[in-house]
Structure 1
Amino acid sequence: MTHTDEKTMKKKAELDEELESALEATFPASDAVAIEKTTTDAPDRPLHRRPPKIDRKLVDKLAKKVAEKKKPDAA
């Protein structure tokens, strides 16, 4: 067996192990198993698009609206 064959066998064994691990983690499920690593250095969102700013005042205002909607009507 050549050095290249050994590397190929090792890589196949590693892929088989990753596949087996992924199958165990997702079974039973209807989704396909993904063992390929698809990480990049790119951010999840474009740099110019920032998450919305949320402050305490906004949270309190929204909580008050939700509480008012949940109040039973006194009729």
Structure 2
Amino acid sequence: SMTVRENVQVALLSHHRRLFSLGKPAGRFQVDEADALLARVGMQEQAARPCAVLAYGDLKRVELAVALANRPRLLLMDEPT
């Protein structure tokens, strides 16, 4: 299972490849950017934990960080049922 940080880094890598198509490996800036996004959603302390062991609410916060990594202009969210 990938860690919380790795999940966000994959989203960042995908976003940056779409923009630049350089194919470079993840650099330090992606680690810093991933950590900034995780801090924004309150998950920085759990960055090294595997997603498989997270509680449902924490998984949703990781999903939010992944969505924000793609820099959407508009993000629609629904209430949990």
Superposed pair shares fold, TM > 0.5: no
Q: Give the structure-1-normalised TM-score.
A: 0.28
Indicate the structure with greater helix content: 2
Q: Give the structure-2-normalised TM-score.
A: 0.27
Higher CA-based Rg: 1
